[in-house]
Amino acid sequence: MKSPLLSLPGAVPAEGVDEGVAAHYGDLFREQRSLADGTGFVDLSHRGVVAVSGQDRLSWLHLLLTQHVSDLPVGEATEALILSANGHIEHALYLVDDGETVWAHVEPGTQDTLIAYLESMKFFYRVEVADRTDDFAVVHLPAGSIAEVPEDTVVRETPHGRDLFLPRETLESFARKAGRPVGILAYEALRVEQHRPRLGFETDHRTIPHELGLIGSAVHLQKGCYRGQETVARVQNLGKPPRRLVFLHLDGSEVHLPGHGTELRLAGDGPDGRKIGFVTTSVRHHELGPVALALVKRNVPLDAPLVAGDTAAAQETVVEP
């Protein structure tokens, strides 16, 4: 879905999964500073929007999600996962309930498979699941923003800012009043700085929640059964995850950033060393320079210098081994 805000001056289209919105509007670092200062807004209208309504919506979702949502207060934001039977992450949902409907935004293009799964699990529960992507656009306001939010807008407020579910036909009029637009690259740079994993970037077909530090924020350990819970409980109580998320400071003299999937090796092992992980997201940060998130094997020493492809990298711990 192509955003109408791509017609704004300076807009450069994003590529890949974020196609449809702007990568930036001509000044990446200024846009990052704007977000960090609590000004501007980010067009996330390419993200999927799923709505679950009906009398049983919270109790039903509670059975399917990793998060405790049976008593979710109106207006309180949360996030949750759907796992495979083996405990691998399949979907990530960013939720809020408005008293009648649970609204969730999800990764672009994942709403169809998510809705198909939810529909298959309805049984006798009084719920309705709807794809509202064509009707609603997600817009992010950074923490501290004083931009005016239209009346009756569903808002998901977090420590990092507010996600608005705007009627899609109002997106352009909102943009005219909300300050300078900020591209997805600036949003991603701050996400990496904040060590926040993203489905499809920090995850692959075998990622489990412990590897990304999602226990607590997206996975509740004291709730009832859900698909994949056995793996979560076993790792929590009896073992350690095979991999862990790290934050990398990359060599700033390199022109190109190592892309998603770039192999990581121990610097001391040389160019023929064994693979010990891979880069998941790399960005240029307005203060930190080139940085990245990566997944490495759990037993990689915490202070070991690494190499991402040909780029030297120093690691900071995100998830403890």
The CATH number for 297's domain is 2.40.30.110
Question: What pLDDT was estimated at residue 55?
Answer: 97
Tell whether 39 is covered by a domain.
Answer: yes
CB 33 within 8 A of CB 286: yes
- The CA-CA-CA angle for residues 94, 262, 294, to 5°, reads 45
pLDDT value, residue 145: 96
Residue 271: other Cβ atoms inside 10 A: 8
Model confidence, pTM: 0.96
Q: What total of structural domains would you count in the chain?
A: 2
Q: Are residues 187 and 257 in the same domain?
A: no
Q: Is 222 domain-assigned?
A: no
DSSP string computed for 168-185: GGGHHHHHHHS-SEE-HH
Question: Among residues 125, 159, 192, which one ends one of the domains?
Answer: 192
Comparing CA positions, the residue from 11, 14, 17 lying closest to residue 260 is: 17
Q: Which of 10, 40, 15, 49 is nearest to 27 (CA)?
A: 10
In a shared domain, residues 41 and 139: yes
pLDDT of residue 207: 98
**Same domain assignment for residues 295 and 147:** no
We report the CATH number of the domain holding residue 35 as 3.30.1360.120
Query: Percent of the chain beyond pLDDT 90?
Result: 96
CA 48 remoteness from chain centre: 12
Q: Is residue 282 included in any domain, yes or no? A: yes
Rounded average pLDDT per 10-residue block, the chain, 321 residues: 95 97 97 97 98 98 98 98 98 98 98 98 96 98 96 97 98 96 98 98 97 97 93 94 97 89 94 94 97 97 94 96 91
For 182-228, write each residue's pLDDT tens digit: 999 999 999 999 999 999 999 999 999 999 999 999 999 998 899 99
Residue 106 placed within a domain:
no
Q: Could you tell me the residue range of the domain that residue 33 belongs to? A: 2-45+133-192
pLDDT at 115: 98
Q: What is the mean pLDDT of the chain?
A: 96
* Structure token pair of residue 62: 């509670």
How high is the pLDDT of residue 29?
A: 97
Query: In a 10 Å sphere around its CB, with 0-12 CB exposed, 13-18 middle and 19+ buried, how is residue 52 labelled?
Result: buried
